[in-house]
Chain A
Amino acid sequence: MTVEHDTLLWLSKSIGLFYLIGLSVAVMVYVYWPSNKKRFDRAASAILHDEDRPTEGVK
């Protein structure tokens, strides 16, 4: 199998470019989606209260 330089260049400038942009947009939308804020805040502070056994602290 030989892949020509031009083919790879085309791939990176088309599909690769949109893949990169698409992924960035998807991540940003997920991160800043307003209803996700509560989940994130809970997750960030949930690790602080202990917890010496499973399911303890689950509300």
Chain B
Amino acid sequence: MQVIATLTRSERQWALIILLVLFALGLALMAAGRNDPLAGHGALVMIAALAAIFAVISGYFTPEPGDERLDHYYDEPSKIGLVLAMAWAAVGMFFGVWVAALLAWPDLTFDAGWASFGRIRPVHTTGVIFGFGGNALIATSFYVMQRTSRARLPDQLSPLFVLFGYNLFCLLAVSGYMMGITQSKEYAEPEWYADIWLVVVWVVYFVIYLRTLARRNEPHIYVANWYYLAFILVVAMLHIVNNLAVPVSFGSAKSYSLFSGVQDAMTQWWYGHNAVAFFLTSGFLGMLYYYMPKRAGRPIYSYRMSIISFWGITFFYMWAGSHHLHYTALPQWVQSLGMTFSIMLLIPSWVSAGNALMTLNGAWHKVRDDAVLRFMMVAAVFYGLTTFEGSFMAIRTVNSLSHYTDWTIGHVHAGTLGWVSMITFGAIYASVPWLWKRPAMYSTQLVETHFWFAIAGTIVYVFAMWNSGIIQGLMWRTYNDSGTLAYSFVDSLIAMHPYYIARTVGGLLFLTGTLVGCYNVWMTIRTAPRTSTTGAEPALAEQPLLQPGE
């Protein structure tokens, strides 16, 4: 195990202690759970801990790293995190295509309980949001915070703890859904024990970030770090509050939320919308503000604008969640409050999108030639489109047409495919050669291929859902002369069928692009550098400015 060799002797000992505690916790869960599904998760934790213990032992007697390590950044967690992100992307998007196909052809559950829509749909959302997005955020945040602070991570063990601990959480989540373990809160499905584990991991993550910033050799904290830090801090708050629950017993996976009724709904959507804001926006804006200037070789168009939009986004988003609950039992004025803040959000969002696009002004030839930069450019365009659409859909009267229809699904995927995935793929393609000391990706042609698959997939998907959603919304509100609904629900479902097929095709295109990306990343890592490596480091530093055609 190469990564163990980067740990000092005492860190290896601490790793073993932590893993033994984890093993004991798994054993305790298994014993307490008995016939409950909780016992299965106890076993999973034990196996994971055991595998990690073997890995640490196998590398235990490798020579310790010397003090010269302190002259370099600690990039092992970023490397592992990026590979895990690509792996989760492939798995999560595969489940996405499956669940999309399931809506068009319901027989695709193959009569298995674990393959029913209610179970594999959260496998898809958790796989892509937390597995793919989360790993990419953790990996790039370690990368960006070290470079922008010009300081090495404070130690070697805690970043690895965060990375592997987080992936254990994702694994517990996804395997739990298939066993029927869920809190039934969207994007917060994992049960109490997994939630507690995530809190531990997340607090360590937050502390690492603060410790690295405290060691920085730059006078000013670069804006990307602000966005990453807001992501870490606010996600901790949201996660803790929304998951306050009392388990039936310590031997049961089932728990009951502290909230009930409309308070529960409001807490959930305060969480849910801010998960979109701080998990899927803030952290990825941090990525954008580092990788886009870096790749384009130009400083951000307006640093001042980036700070203003930071505070705007951070402040306004907190209040926008109630727009998910228009026309419900939630008091009207709370709905109006959410709607108002959602509309105001357009300003900081467009300031960010505009700032990104203005940064590229003067570098459009690079956007044309370099697919990596083009991924980032498209991300900024989709960020602008999606935030406009989001503000629009939050208006109560628009929402009366769009809510509960596929328009919402289209909106979400414009954001996740067009914005979040595009910026992430851009950041991954930029980082991989820098991290593995390669002159470039294995194949720039395959990056180009991935780009066009991703764009085609996104457009097919989003247009299918826009059409489907608006037709659905209109059918549900069409009355006939006698004042009753003109269409039954099943009528609208039949009308959706062609769009569900189109959506599956769009998703499949996007997944194909991702698989091409996985192959390309893997080959870049596996293939030895094609040019001489002597004196590679200073030369590599200039790499982001090079273009494939040059």
Residue positions of A touching B, CB distance < 8 A: 5, 9, 12, 20, 23-24, 27-28, 30-32, 39-48, 50-58
Contacts and interface: CB of A to CB of B under 8 A. Distances in A.
Given A54-B150, A54-B217, 7 more contacts: A31-B307, A39-B219, A44-B293, A47-B293, A48-B297, A52-B540, A54-B151
Interface in B284-326: 290, 293-294, 297-300, 303-304, 307-308, 311, 315
B72 A46 contact: no
A23 B348 CA distance: 14
Given A51-B150, A54-B146, A54-B151, A43 B223 contact: yes
Nearest to B144: A47
A46 to B, nearest CB: 6
Contacts of B72: 52-54
Contacts of B290: 47
A28 B308 contact: yes
A52 to B, nearest CB: 5
Interface string B70-95: 11110000000000000000000000
A51 B218 CA distance: 13
A9 B70 CA distance: 55
A23 B299 contact: no
Contact of A5 (B146, B224, B333, B541): B333
Among A43, A46, A54, chain B packs the most CB atoms within 10 A around the CB of A54
B222 interface: yes
Given A45-B299, A46-B218, A54 B307 contact: no
A42 B220 contact: yes
A53 B73 contact: yes
Contacts, number: 86
A57 B149 CA distance: 11
**Which 9 pairs across A and B sit closest by C-beta, in order of nearness?**
A50-B541, A44-B299, A40-B303, A43-B220, A44-B303, A27-B311, A45-B299, A39-B220, A31-B304
A27 B219 CA distance: 19
A52 B290 CA distance: 15
Among B70, B71, B150, B337, chain A packs the most CB atoms within 10 A around the CB of B150
27 contacts: A5-B331, A23-B311, A23-B315, A28-B308, A30-B307, A31-B307, A32-B304, A42-B220, A43-B220, A43-B222, A44-B293, A47-B222, A48-B294, A48-B297, A48-B298, A50-B542, A51-B541, A52-B73, A52-B537, A52-B538, A52-B540, A54-B72, A54-B152, A55-B151, A55-B217, A58-B150, A58-B217
A56 to B, nearest CB: 7
Contacts of A57: 150
B150 A55 contact: yes
Contact of B73 (A39, A43, A54): A54
Contacts of B311: 23-24, 27
Interface string B324-337: 00000001010001
